[in-house]
Structure 1
Amino acid sequence: MKLQHHLGGIENLGPVSTEKRVFVEPWEQRIFGIHTVMMAESAHLSDALHRYPVDTLPTAFKSDWTWASLRTGAEDMQPFEYFKYRYYEKWLGGIAQFFVDQGYISAQELADKTAHYSAHPDAPLPDHPNAELTAQIDAYLQNGDSGYHALDGAARFRAGDAVRIGDPEAVDHTRLPGYLRNKTGVVDLVYPGAFSYFVSTDVDGIGAPMPVYRIAFDAASIWGKSEANTTIYADLYEAYVQPAA
C-alpha cells in the first residue's frame, strides 16, 4: 500500500490543518461542481437502482465516473507528489488526467487552455446551459446511487465474532486502511443487506455484493500503549475479514 494511504499512527507528520471551511478558494467550488456533473452523467447510472435516462442524455460524456474514479486518480499519484498538493488540487489533477486518458481532450489542448486562462484570468468560461442535463443533475443530487442489495444467504460472521483482517495485494484503489492489515478485532455490527462498490477491485476481493461489518479494534494493539482504553471502529467488506483463528 502506498505511503499516503498507510498513515495511521505514524508520528511527526504535522502540522495538522485545523481549517474548517469546505471551500477555501472559489475555484474549489467549481472543481466540486465538475465532479458532481460527471457523476450525474456517468454511464454506470444506466444500471442504478433509481432509473436515469443516461443513454439518451445530450452529452458527449460516455464514461463511468464515481467517487471511486476520483479516489483512484488521487491514490495513483506518486506519494511525495501527493503530499505537495492541496485537497482540491488533487481532484483537479485526477479529473484532468481522466479526460486526457479517455480521449476527451489531448494533453496539448489542456496545456493550451491552461496557458490561455493563466494569461487571461478574466476570460469568460464556456457556458452552454441545457435544461435536460440540469434536470438529470438535480435528479441525481436528490436520488443518488446505491450499492445496496438484498443479501443472498447469510453473512459469514456475527456480532461478537473475533476476526482478523486480511492483507490482500495492494491495488490502485482499495477500501482497506493500511494500518488495519493483519490486525484482530471483534465484529460489532453486521449491516443488513449486501453492498457492492462503484468499481471492481477484484485483485483485493471487492466485486459482487457482499456483507459489510462494523469491526471494533483495541487502539493499543494498533498504535501502542499510549492509546489504551480507546476503541476504533471500521466498516469493512467481508472480503477483507477472516476468522481470528
Structure 2
Amino acid sequence: MRFIAPRSEHTVKLQHHLGGIENLGPINPETRVFVEPWEQRIFGIHTTMMAESAHLADALPAYPVRDLPTRFKSDWTWASLRTGAEDMQPFEYFKYRYYEKWLGGIAQFFVDAGYISTEELAEKTAFYRAHPDAALPDRPSAPLASQINAYLQQGDSGYHEADRAPRFAAGDTVRIADPEAVDHTRLPGYLRNKAGTIDIVYPGRFSYFVSTGVDGIGKPMPVYRIAFEAADIWGPGKSESSTTIYADLYEAYVRAAN
C-alpha cells in the first residue's frame, strides 16, 4: 500500500500543526510513547537511519559517516520523515496512527531511493506475516552500533556562530510570511499572515539540514521566539483570555509589521 498521496502545488497542509482546526473528533488521552511492540522497532529504524545519514558529514559533531560499513548512503533527517506525513492527502493522513505514518514514509523512501523494490517489500511483508516468529536481520555491527550511540548522545546540531546581526530585536512587532506550499515546512499554518512580537532572539544562527526551496529555510539564519495573542490567531470567541502562544520561527518566515 502506498501511503503517500500525490501533492498539489498549492495544497494547504492542513495536517501540519493542527491548532485551530475544528471537528477533529475526540482527543485520545493515551500517554504511552509506544503502544505496540512494533512501534519501538519503527522508532529504532528511523534512529538508525538518522545516525547513518550522509548529511552528518557536515554536522557540528565530527562523525565518520563516510567510513561506516553500510549500504545506506542517503540523507535522512527529521525533515525526511515529516515530508512523508505532510505530503499525504489530509483525509488519508487521519486514517493512520502515528507510527503507521512513520512506517509508510520510511518504506516508501526505501522504494523510491532504490534500496528495495516494491516486489521485494511485498515479499518480505508476506513472509513475516506468515512467520511472525521468524528471525529478524542481524543487529548492527560494532562500528554501526558505536555510531548510533554517538548520534543519540550528540545529535546533529545545526548551530553556527553569528556572522551578522539579526534583522529583528526583542520587542519588535512583526508579521509572519505566507510562503507557497511545499513538501515540508516548519511554519505552522495557523500563524501565516499573523502579527506577533519578538520575545527572544536566540544567539547564533541555525541551519536546517535540507532546503525547503521557496519555503525559505536551509542555510544558517537567526531564529526567534515570537509571542502571539491567541485571540489574534483564532478570534476572541474561540480563545481563552490572556493566553499567549509562543513559536520558534526561522528568520525566513518573519517580516516587518508594515
Amino acid at match of 1:208: K
Amino acid at match of 2:115: Y
Amino acid at match of 1:69: S
Amino acid at match of 2:198: V
Equivalent residue in structure 2 for 1:72, among 79, 83, 103: 83
SS at match of 1:3: coil
Determine the structure 2 residue equivalent to 1:22: 33
Amino acid at match of 1:242: R
Equivalent residue in structure 2 for 1:108, among 110, 119, 128: 119
SS at match of 1:77: coil
Q: How does 1:138-217 map to 2 (within 5 A)?
A: 138-217=149-228
Aligned-partner Cα distance in 2 for 1:143–1:64: 18
Percent of aligned pairs with the same amino acid:
80
Deviations 1:29-49 (A, max 9, x none): 000000000011001111111
Determine the structure 2 residue equivalent to 1:34: 45
- Root-mean-square deviation (Å): 1.0
Determine the structure 1 residue equivalent to 2:248: 235
Deviations 1:151-199 (A, max 9, x none): 1110000000000001000100000000000000000000000011121
Determine the structure 1 residue equivalent to 2:73: 62
Determine the structure 2 residue equivalent to 1:222: 233
SS at match of 2:224: strand
Amino acid at match of 1:79: P
Q: How many residues align?
A: 245
Contact 2:14/2:189 (8 A) holds in 1: no
Deviations 1:94-131 (A, max 9, x none): 00000000000000100111111111111111114411
Determine the structure 2 residue equivalent to 1:118: 129
Aligned-partner Cα distance in 2 for 1:14–1:235: 28
Runs of 4+ more than 6 Å apart = none
SS at match of 2:150: helix
Aligned-partner Cα distance in 2 for 1:171–1:115: 35
Determine the structure 2 residue equivalent to 1:85: 96
Aligned-partner Cα distance in 2 for 1:12–1:52: 46
- The offset of 1:202, in angstroms, is 2.3
Determine the structure 2 residue equivalent to 1:43: 54
- The offset of 1:66, in angstroms, is 0.8
Aligned-partner Cα distance in 2 for 1:211–1:244: 18
Amino acid at match of 1:223: W
- 5+ unaligned residues in a row in structure 1: which ranges? none
| Range that drifts further, 221-230 or 12-21 | 221-230
Determine the structure 1 residue equivalent to 2:6: none
Amino acid at match of 2:29: T
Contact 2:174/2:257 (8 A) holds in 1: yes
SS at match of 2:193: coil
- The offset of 1:6, in angstroms, is 5.6
